[in-house]
Amino acid sequence: MDWTESPRVRNLSRMKTHREIFPGIHWIQECGPNRQGIADAVVATGAEWCPAGVALHVPQNAYLLTGERTLLFDTLSPAAGEIVLAGLESVLGDRPLDFVAISHTDVPHAANVSRILRRYPACQLVAPAAGETHPLYHLADATLVGPGDEIDLGGLRVTFPEATFLDAALHTWMTEETTRSLFTVDWLGFPHMEGECLQCVDELPGEIDVSRLEAFHSRVMFWFQYVDVDTVRRATDALARRYAGYSLLPSHGLPIREDPERYYELMNEVVANVAASGRTGVL
């Protein structure tokens, strides 16, 4: 049976799991399970943004860019193959997917590459040039990209800067230059509550604060506990200068379209806090 005939995929097509956040940039969100353990830990800290009993999600995001050609950045987790395929079908219709680009080979980012390539056999796989072990990830035949590389999608234009803050070495960030958007992958993630799914930060009633960013980074960027805080601050400040005015589109948080400058300073506070107090858990 063709995947589009699956009742589950048809239902997912009707569910709201994707939306356009800039002209030609479509956000496909996998909210994942309720993270009760993280919610309980956050509530215990007295953080005002997270009321007791609320469901908390740490999402996976994929971004579908539709110029004259089309590119999907990241593919969601193995649990969300149908979400990403339904999102592609809904946005693209009869159009082809020309490129699937992965930020890094982490399972929640790269898990659905094979399924997507089976559905769109002419699609070109794009992977980070950084790293030494591409054949260990079935990436020997991928088109490798890094700083200085650009893909012109016709109306949209993507580049692949070095990932400033990362986990795995085989890694890239991405920008879209016509909308001035920076895709920060694992950096700048944060949990969202039920009712906030598929909303951009500027649509929330309140602001994202340090504790919400810390709830994510103190688990995922565990290595912040060993850093020299001033060294990281210099890197963050350089990033803020380089990408001043760029919207920030993380893989594990809600898109930040307004006032992005504020978040660089918040992240400096997060790093200082994790360096002082250590990690708080595992994701």
Partner 1 sequence: MSASLELGRGVEWIHECYSEPTGHLHVSVYLVRAPGGDILVDSGSFYHRDSLHSRIESATDGRGPRALILSHSDYPHSGNIPTFREEWGDFEIVASVASPEIQGLPYARRARIGESLDVLGRRFTFLDPPLADRSHTTWIYDEEGKTLFVADGFGTIHPPGHCDSWWGDLPLEGRTEGVLEFHDQTLRWLIYVDPDRLMTALRDIFARHPAEVVAPIHGPPIARADLEAYLDDLESGVRTIVSTHAAMTTEEE
Helix, strand or coil, per DSSP, at residue 169:
coil
* Closer CB to partner 1, 138 or 157, in the complex: 138
Q: At its nearest, how many Å lie between partner 1 and the CB of residue 146? A: 13
Contacts with 259 (C-beta within 8 Å, 6 or more apart), sequence order: none
Q: Select from 109, 141, 107 the least CA-distant residue to 125.
A: 141
Please pick, from the candidates 51, 96, 147, 281, the single residue that binds partner 1 as defined by CB under 8 A: 281
Tell me how far apart the alpha carbons of residues 229 and 198 are, in angstroms, rounded to a whole number: 33
Q: Based on the shown chain and the rule CB under 8 A, indicate whether residue 87 belongs to the binding site for partner 1.
A: no
- Token pair 């005002």 in the structure block, residue: 48
* Closer CB to partner 1, 33 or 154, in the complex: 33
Q: At its nearest, how many Å lie between partner 1 and the CB of residue 112? A: 10
Binding mask 9-28 for partner 1 (x = CB under 8 A): --------------------
Tell me how far apart the alpha carbons of residues 107 and 75 are, in angstroms, rounded to a whole number: 9
| Whole-angstrom Cα Rg for the chain | 18
Q: At its nearest, how many Å lie between partner 1 and the CB of residue 67? A: 30
Tell me how far apart the alpha carbons of residues 159 and 20 are, in angstroms, rounded to a whole number: 20
Q: At its nearest, how many Å lie between partner 1 and the CB of residue 260? A: 22
Q: At its nearest, how many Å lie between partner 1 and the CB of residue 79? A: 5
Q: At its nearest, how many Å lie between partner 1 and the CB of residue 280? A: 11
What is the distance, to the nearest Å, from the Cα of residue 155 to the centroid of all Cα atoms in its chain?
Answer: 22
* Closer CB to partner 1, 210 or 283, in the complex: 283
Q: Based on the shown chain and the rule CB under 8 A, indicate whether residue 147 belongs to the binding site for partner 1.
A: no
Q: Within 47-86, which residues bind partner 1 (CB under 8 A)?
A: 60, 77-79
Let me know the angle formed at the C-alpha of 119 by 117 and 123, rounded to the nearest 5 degrees.
Answer: 45
Tell me how far apart the alpha carbons of residues 172 and 170 are, in angstroms, rounded to a whole number: 7
Binding site for partner 1 (CB under 8 A): 32-33, 35, 37, 60, 77-79, 105-108, 111, 130-133, 135-138, 165-169, 171, 219-223, 225-228, 231-232, 234-235, 279, 281-283
